[in-house]
């Protein structure tokens, strides 16, 4: 059989895409997800009931990963869009599933670092199965706020590696927030346009899109219409044009991630995304070095890891670890959640010099968890 070769000047038809949006509580994230075309909501957050009379889509309440993994293409036949609400909770279910096997965990019960990568792979495989079947995918996440010097950073509430993996998967990404319009009234806006202070990805050239009153029936297909606009745009671009745009969006996200990084573990998480064969490898490496050096870190070539320059190999003591454990417990968190958030395998990997900064980060995480509870 002859090969179906597509030249660089020919368009590759895009039948299904992955869209990602995140926002604070009360922003009607789930309701927005239900306005996708023939949507099925995978409710891992168990919050779909809060949509009340706005609920316009079928829902699967996911208690465990198998509730999701066992969904077949036959089950999906009536649907065009699968909505993961929220993506963070879905990844938690996968990790809990893997943690049932003791070979995957360390002494403190947290997942081994390589197993966390397995969790991302399991999820990506499931999503690719949906996309291959011609269905669109929507990821919903909570937003979290970080402060870096004088800049307030808004990003999805996911750990470093998870955050990079989901960003890599998606075709379009937006921050859902309130803004004051020209009439002086507040309105919800999906901010796809790349700007300082939040994460976004605008493959479809949507810019910043005001969200109408989703309670009105004429707006019941709002997200579905946006998804179709993105696909229409992608289907008018040649592979060469798509590659240029992809590299541009990747670079914007990379620079933003390097700017936000605070600890060696943040840069080490980014290292997984840095491939020598990438067209922008040199610029990405120089960008990473610039921000890592500014924070006083150095690169250990032998271990291919970023480490603290001033206190090499100086990590917290067992007494400090026990104190930090109590600090975490008092705030209603667990070690596994904190380690995943910080991108480390165990509390004993925390540098002594960063202990106070880590406590501040844990305080922020605890507040975020309370707000979304």
Reported confidence tier of residue 186, pLDDT bands at 50, 70, 90: confident
Nearest to 37 by CA among 78, 91, 65: 78
More confident site: 190 or 237: 190
314-344 burial code (b ≥16 CB/10 A, e <16): ebbeeeebeebeebbeebebebbbbbbbbbb
Question: Same domain for 327 and 233?
Answer: no
**CB atoms closer than 10 angstroms to residue 61:** 14
- pLDDT of 301 > 70? The answer is yes
Looking at residue 10, what is its pLDDT?
65
Residues 6+ apart with CB under 8 A from 187: 178, 179, 180, 181, 210, 211
Amino acid 65: pLDDT: 95
Let me know whether 233 and 135 are in one domain: yes
CATH number for position 186: 3.40.50
Calculate mean pLDDT across residues 108-129: 82
- 179, 212, 239 - which closes a domain: 239
Confirm whether 283 is domain-assigned.
no
Which of 177, 168, 235, 178 has the alpha carbon at shortest distance from 205? Answer: 235
Q: Which two tokens stand for residue 330?
A: 């008092």
Quick check: is 305 in a domain? no
Considering only CA atoms, which of 170, 187, 356 is closest in space to residue 262? 356
307's tokens: 């480490």
Check residue 12 and report its DSSP letter: P
* Whether residue 309 has pLDDT greater than 70: no
Dist. CA 261–CA 234, nearest whole Å:
32
- For 37, other C-beta atoms within 10 Å of its C-beta total 15
Whether the predicted pLDDT of 350 surpasses 90 = no
Q: Do 51 and 163 sit in the same domain of this protein?
A: yes
What does the pLDDT average to over 356-370? Answer: 85
Do 36 and 153 lie in a common domain?
yes
Does residue 95 sit within a domain?
Answer: yes
Same domain, 223 and 327: no
User: CA 154, CA 321: separation in Å to the nearest integer?
Assistant: 29
The residue with tokens 């605008």 is 202
Is residue 39 predicted with pLDDT exceeding 90? yes
Q: Rounded to an integer, what distance in angstroms lies between the CA atom of residue 245 and that of residue 353?
A: 40
Residue whose structure tokens are 């080490």: 268
Q: Which helix (H) or strand (E) holds 358?
A: helix 355-372
Written as one string, the DSSP assignment of 104-139 is GB-TTSPBPHHHHHHHHHHHHHHHHHHHHTT-EEEE
**What's the mean pLDDT in 311-323?**
74
Task: Tell me the pTM.
Answer: 0.69
Q: In Å, how far are 137, 143, 153, 172, 176 from 249, measured between CA atoms?
A: 20, 20, 18, 10, 19
pLDDT digits 0-9 by tens, 85-103: 989 999 999 989 998 888 8
Q: Which of 5-14, 111-120, 138-147 has the highest mean pLDDT?
A: 138-147
What's the mean per-residue pLDDT of the chain? 84
Q: Do 32 and 173 belong together in one domain?
A: yes
More confident residue, 103 or 147: 103
Among 216, 239, 262, the domain boundary falls at 239
Q: Does residue 80 fall inside a structural domain? A: yes
Angle, in degrees to the nearest 10, between helices 318-330 and 335-342: 110
Structural domain including 29 reads 18-239
117 or 10: which carries more pLDDT confidence?
117
Nearest-angstrom CA–CA distance, 55 and 106: 42
End-to-end CA distance of the chain: 56
Pairing of strands 305-308, 297-300: antiparallel
In this predicted structure, the answer to whether residue 313 has a pLDDT above a threshold of 60 is no
Q: What is the mean predicted confidence (pLDDT) over 234-242?
A: 75
Cα–Cα distance, 73 to 249 (Å, whole number): 32
Lowest mean pLDDT among 130-134, 168-172, 269-273, 296-300: 269-273
Q: Residue 70 has what pLDDT?
A: 94
Within-domain flag for 225: yes
Residue 228 and residue 341 share a domain? no
4 pLDDT band, cuts 50/70/90, is low
In the predicted structure, residue 311 carries a pLDDT above the cut 60: no
- In this prediction, what percent of the chain has a pLDDT beyond 70? 92
What distance in Å separates the CA atoms of residue 99 and residue 261, rounded to the nearest whole number? 28
Say how many domains are in the chain: 2
With H, G, I as helix, E, B as strand and everything else as coil, classify residue 20.
Answer: strand
What Cα–Cα distance (Å) separates residue 152 from each residue in 149, 155, 201, 261, 364?
8, 10, 19, 13, 13
**Residue with token string 């293409």:** 73
Same domain, 90 and 227: yes
Q: Cα–Cα distance between 364 and 360 in angstroms, integer?
A: 6
pLDDT value at position 342?
Answer: 82
pLDDT tens-digit profile of 46-56? 888 887 777 78
Residue at a domain's end among 239, 265, 291: 239
């Amino acid at each position: 059989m002859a090969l179906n070769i597509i030249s660089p000047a020919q368009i590759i038809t895009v039948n299904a895409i992955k869209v990602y949006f995140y926002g604070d509580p009360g922003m009607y994230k789930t309701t927005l997800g239900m306005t996708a075309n023939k949507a099925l909501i995978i409710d891992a957050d168990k919050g779909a009931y809060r949509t009340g009379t706005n609920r316009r889509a079928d829902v699967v309440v996911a208690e465990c990963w198998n509730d999701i993994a066992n969904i077949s293409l036959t089950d999906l036949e009536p649907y065009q869009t699968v909505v993961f609400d929220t993506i963070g909770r879905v990844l938690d279910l996968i990790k809990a599933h893997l943690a049932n096997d003791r070979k995957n965990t360390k002494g403190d019960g947290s997942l081994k670092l390589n197993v966390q990568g397995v969790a991302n792979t399991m999820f990506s495989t499931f999503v690719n199965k949906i996309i291959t079947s011609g269905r669109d995918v929507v990821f919903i996440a909570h937003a979290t706020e970080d402060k870096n010097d004088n800049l307030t950073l808004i990003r999805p509430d996911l750990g470093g590696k998870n955050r990079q993996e989901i960003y890599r998967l998606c075709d379009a990404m937006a921050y859902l927030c309130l803004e004051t319009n020209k009439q002086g009234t507040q309105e919800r806006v999906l901010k796809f346009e790349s700007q300082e202070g939040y994460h976004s990805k605008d493959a479809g050239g949507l810019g910043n899109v005001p969200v109408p009153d989703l309670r009105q029936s004429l707006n019941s297909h709002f997200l579905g219409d946006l998804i179709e606009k993105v696909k229409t745009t992608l289907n008018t671009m040649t592979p060469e044009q798509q590659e240029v745009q992809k590299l541009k969006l990747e670079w914007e996200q990379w620079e933003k991630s390097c700017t936000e990084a605070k600890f060696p573990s943040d840069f080490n998480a980014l290292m997984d995304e840095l491939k020598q064969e990438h067209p922008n490898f040199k610029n990405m490496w120089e960008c990473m070095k610039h921000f890592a050096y500014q924070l006083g870190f150095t690169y250990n070539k032998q271990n291919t890891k970023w480490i603290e320059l001033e206190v090499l190999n100086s990590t917290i003591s067992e007494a400090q670890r026990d104190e930090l454990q109590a600090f975490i417990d008092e705030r209603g968190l667990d070690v596994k959640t904190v380690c995943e958030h910080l991108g480390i395998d165990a509390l004993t990997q925390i540098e002594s010099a960063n202990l106070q900064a880590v406590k501040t980060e844990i305080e922020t995480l605890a507040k975020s968890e309370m707000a979304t509870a």
